[in-house]
Structure 1
Amino acid sequence: MKKLLKFAKWPALLVGIIFMLGACHRAPSRTANSPKHMRGVWLTDVGTMALTYTTLLDETLHHISKSGYDRVYFSVYGLRGQLYATKQRGELIPKLPLINPMASMARESRRQGVKPYAWFEYGLMLPQYDPVAKNNPDWLLTMANGEQVIENHGIPMVWLDPAHPGVQAYILGHIDDILQEQSLAGIQLDDHWAVPRQFGDRQRDLTALTAKVHERIKAKNPELALSLSPNPYQFSRNEYNQDWLGWVRQGIIDEVVVQVYRSSPAEVQQTVANSGIYTASRYVPVGIGLYTGIKAKPFDLQAIKNQIQAVEDQNLGHSLFVWEFLVLRAINARLNIL
């Protein structure tokens, strides 16, 4: 038994040495890209943590930069919690000690010449089970029929009231916590920074809170951008009280990436034409968000390339949702496993 234990130590030692060598190695830095139009990539919180914990973050960002992309939007706040220290919300995501995924992503992005945006995913929407929702029932919006829950992909979700002082303090507190990381280029809100029409006309309330978020960011650092990734304008305004073209004209949004998740280049171009993006482009940098997920068919990289070309033909930038799906596509293309 002693001999067995003696030999068992060697594989563990070898793994430890390999891990240490990987942790010590860093991809070479790169100068910042300056493409004619924005070229971005989204990463989920799971992807950000996985890359950080496996020491592959530098290699991934180096490859993103080398591929001509100039910005990365990485989720720091979502269904599972957040990737930064905060007293606003409980810790739902288990994290390794002495490792800061948000700081690592922001600083390594800068080293690779990529602009890092902290993506405040899920905005005013919370899972029904979230302690914030349970402990603050007066913060939640209620429909005319008394219901508060709307399912999103099978998950019961509730929505925060943008006019409630407690909600405003909660949101601004999170913004302050995110801005503790000084390497960021900005913060991005998305289509969940909204209020479903089932809760009534909340357009003014949402606009007022957006203005407060923008003011808070600029007070911390005038160079930081408040980015938004909404759906096409008419749908956003009519279904989710999200008057993002009004926000652009008002000067409280600094960048817009419109989500156009369609199956073909023709559908992308048709949607772009009526999305509001051209009006927004008169005021701020703009781009089109393209879906790279596994639901799109055919399941190959060429389908994504065709959509990118369709967007570039319209003289627009783009961002890809999400990096993890691109990896699955690349694996599929090489191994033909799906």
Structure 2
Amino acid sequence: MDAIQQHNVSYICSSGADVGCSSYYDPGLAAYGTCVRNGCCAYSAQITESTLCDQAPAETCCFRNNVCSDDFCFDVYGTWVSQYRFSGSQADVDQGFAALKEKGVKRVLFNVWANGVIFANSATAQAAGVQFGNDRLAWAVQSARQYGLELYAWFEYGSMACYGSAPSNQFANTASANGWLLYNMVNGQPVYNTDGTGDFVFMDISLQPVRDFLVGISRDIVANYDIDGIQYDDHFALPSGFSSVDSMGQSSRYSQTESLMQAIKDASKSIKPSIHVSFSPSSLLFSRSKHNVDWADWVLRGVVEEVMPQYYRTTAADFKRTLEEDLALITRSDQVVAGIRLSGSSFPENTPQSEVDQMIQISYSKGLKGISFWFADNVILGPYFVPFLRYC
């Protein structure tokens, strides 16, 4: 059975015929094995030896509970494509999307806005001094339709103007001249970074021209491209640590971010009612304290149609702890898609496969809407092997 078929057939566990697994006794766990879908074995108490299960690697020999009930499934299985690889030409995009289709990915979150550059046509962006990189989103639309993938325009930089400690690109300089940037005056000099910003320069989204800019680029891209959704992430923020922000009351700060996201959603749906609006924040307590984003309230009020928190941890234990902290504070786990880290700059090493597999199992057991991998390179090129997932 080839890789594409593995992800599209109606899967039935065949443990009765898998005598290799059912007759295998694990003395450490004091149990015989049962073949279950890969990704469904609790606590990774499994053996992936291909001779034990007839449909390996789609199934695995498990010595603990099968956490995937017969009627449970993920609505979302996605991954983020960055500005660096598998996006620089039509051939690059096609290569990446073809590999993602083969590996069972259903949704691609494709970068269109980064460091003062937009990779799609937008009159709003052009008027604001944004550099046009090239029309990468047109390439992504072509490949997504060819391979039957959901395509979301991912606005990676959100309300950030640039990377660094001061304006460093054409757009950021224009934004600075227009008075759009957040900063503190220290010893007579502007300081653009705080504990809530990291090494990035943010725009002040309490200003109407900034709000109009973000609503405008979102609306333009929805109007100009055949996409299924849009996504902003943790870089959509009104960061704490600036005097102009901290002087507001907490409810006012939360209201600024929520009302802007609502305006983005309303403008996008006025163009295309079926467009799906997703948000990928940091964990809830960090989002509230550092970014003035109360995304639990957004879920409750329907400001966004799903949240995809970045639970980027290198161990399943840390992933589970952070996820459970958030789930205790929100009303609906079925609106949560877990962002799972395969690799990234925060840690030099890849997350071990066994830890990622456990994170998937935890996501099943908590009844989440799905999962999304940070980021696509590791799915396309390895070393991570994507397990079989059951889709709704």
TM-score by length of 2: 0.67
Q: Which residue of 1 aligns with 2:181?
A: 140
- Structure 2 Cα separation of the partners of residues 119 and 33 of structure 1: 30
Q: Which residue of 1 aligns with 2:154?
A: 119
Contact 2:343 2:350 in 1 (8 A): no
1:307 aligns with 2:359: yes
Please give the per-residue CA displacement for 1:165-220, whole angstroms capped at 9, x wherever unaligned. Answer: 21122112211221133321111000010121112243222222111111101111
Aligned counterpart in structure 2 of residue 105 of structure 1, from 134, 140, 148? 140
- Structure 2 Cα separation of the partners of residues 32 and 120 of structure 1: 30
Superposition deviation, residue 232 in structure 1: 1.3
SS in 2 for 1:46: coil
Please give the per-residue CA displacement for 1:292-322, whole angstroms capped at 9, x wherever unaligned. Answer: 1153646654443333233233332210011
Q: Which residue of 2 aligns with 1:322?
A: 375
- Structure 2 Cα separation of the partners of residues 130 and 162 of structure 1: 19
Superposition deviation, residue 256 in structure 1: 0.8
- Structure 1 Cα separation of the partners of residues 96 and 173 of structure 2: 38
Distance 1:244 1:227, change over 3 A: same
Give unpaired runs (5+ residues) of structure 1.
Answer: 1-27, 333-338
Please give the per-residue CA displacement for 1:47-93, whole angstroms capped at 9, x wherever unaligned. Answer: 2423x34x143343233233332211111001251111231454646
Aligned counterpart in structure 2 of residue 198 of structure 1, from 217, 221, 241? 241
1:215 aligns with 2:293: no
Superposition deviation, residue 247 in structure 1: 1.6
- Cα RMSD of the aligned pairs, angstroms, is 3.2
Aligned counterpart in structure 2 of residue 274 of structure 1, from 319, 322, 325? 325
- Structure 2 Cα separation of the partners of residues 298 and 108 of structure 1: 28
After superposition, residues 260-271 of structure 1 pair within 5 angstroms as 260-271=311-322
Aligned counterpart in structure 2 of residue 37 of structure 1, from 55, 75, 91? 75
In our comparison, the structure showing a higher alpha carbon Rg is 2
Residue identity in the other structure for 2:275: L
1:184 aligns with 2:253: no
1:174 aligns with 2:217: yes
After superposition, residues 145-156 of structure 1 pair within 5 angstroms as 147-150=190-193, 156=199
Residue identity in the other structure for 2:295: W
Higher relative contact order (CA 8 A, sep 6+): 2
Superposition deviation, residue 229 in structure 1: 0.3
SS in 2 for 1:222: coil
Q: Which residue of 2 aligns with 1:70?
A: 106
- Structure 1 Cα separation of the partners of residues 74 and 98 of structure 2: 20
- Structure 1 Cα separation of the partners of residues 175 and 152 of structure 2: 29
Please give the per-residue CA displacement for 1:108-158, whole angstroms capped at 9, x wherever unaligned. Answer: 213322210000111111122133332233111234757441179x98532
Residue identity in the other structure for 1:68: G
Identity within the alignment, %: 24
Corresponding pairs, count: 296
Superposition deviation, residue 164 in structure 1: 1.1
Give unpaired runs (5+ residues) of structure 2.
Answer: 11-72, 386-392
Q: Which residue of 2 aligns with 1:11?
A: none
After superposition, residues 245-260 of structure 1 pair within 5 angstroms as 245-260=296-311
